[in-house]
Amino acid sequence: MNGTIERLLAHRSIRKYKPDVPVTQEQLETIIAAGQAASTSSNIQAYSIVGVTDPERKARLAELAGNQKHIVECPQFLVWCADLNRLQTAAKLHDADAEIHMTTEAFVLATVDTALAAQNAAVAAESLGFGIVYIGGIRNNPRDVAQLLQLPKLVYPLFGMCIGVPDQEPDHRPRLPLSAVYHRESYSGEVIEDGIRQYDETMQAYYNSRAGGGRDTVWSKEVAARMAQGPLRPHLHDFLHGQGFRLI
């Protein structure tokens, strides 16, 4: 096993950071450059990153994301945005009336590009000794986030990312077994239930071993409860439509 794979397998979400240890400008630029090196569909690079260090703005983002205090406490917060505005701007350099087609495929391309770049950046940050955690709560109130960050049409905030030097050692959370996620040649539903049952046993032991212990639950029960809460963030469709993304 090489160092890169060891780094990937060692990933843990970090929500507590050492105070007064900043991410330097040089380190930030290196992290973003690593993100930019990620694969991108047809070289469109359809993402933008908004870096936030201002305490008041971080506090407001923390509130909008569900009062997640680690947004306030981390020295560097990044908001990763799917961005088709830059593509339209580029097109208008050659034709003032140019309008790129804002289809579901374009939305997917921008979303995937953003996620690929962010994960590259996350690995780069961890290689420099930082810890990260993704903040999907940014999508709780996307209109307010877009207004706060002055995002134009054709740009939407996908998720946030806290970066800082870890001040905690959380347990490594097990993942699903290979048999539950990898299919040979074609999708096989037969192996999924066995993989889930195996993972439930693993996660039950994990929950019981954590600080406090005694949590009587399994992964399948947790995700079933999560998905039974009703449609997740149903407001996103109207927000995206208002931002110019036509999901057709």
Q: How many CB atoms lie within 10 A of CB 56?
A: 8
Q: pTM for the complete prediction? A: 0.94
Query: What is the spatial distance between Cα 14 and Cα 71, in angstroms, rounded to a whole number?
Result: 11
Asked if residues 162 and 133 have their Cβ atoms less than 8 Å apart, the reply is yes
Q: Measured between alpha carbons, how far is 28 from 118 in angstroms, rounded to an integer?
A: 13
**pLDDT value of position 4:** 93
pLDDT at 18 over 60: yes
Q: Tokens at residue 145, please?
A: 């986030």
The CATH number for 3-171, chosen from 3.90.79.10, 2.40.30.10, 3.40.109.10, 3.40.50.720, is: 3.40.109.10
For 49-85, write each residue's pLDDT tens digit.
999 999 999 999 999 999 999 999 999 999 999 999 9
Q: With bands split at pLDDT 50, 70 and 90, how would you rate the model's confidence at 213?
A: low
Q: What is the pLDDT of residue 13?
A: 96
Tell which residue, 4, 2, 1, has the closest CA to residue 123.
4
pLDDT at 15 > cutoff 60: yes
Winning range, highest mean pLDDT, from 95-109, 144-158, 213-227: 144-158
**Mean pLDDT, residues 224-233:** 88
Residue 220 burial class via C-beta count within 10 angstroms: exposed 0-12, middle 13-18, buried 19 and up? middle
Section 136-161 average pLDDT: 98
Residue 165 in tokens: 């030097």
pLDDT at position 11: 96
Domain range list for the chain: 3-171, 178-226
Mean pLDDT of the chain: 93
pLDDT higher than threshold 70 for residue 103: yes
Give residue 214's pLDDT: 63
Rounded Cα distance between 22 and 237, Å, is 37
Residue 215 scores a pLDDT above 70: yes
Structure confidence at residue 211 as a pLDDT band (50, 70, 90): low
Cα(117)–Cα(181) distance, rounded to whole angstroms?
23
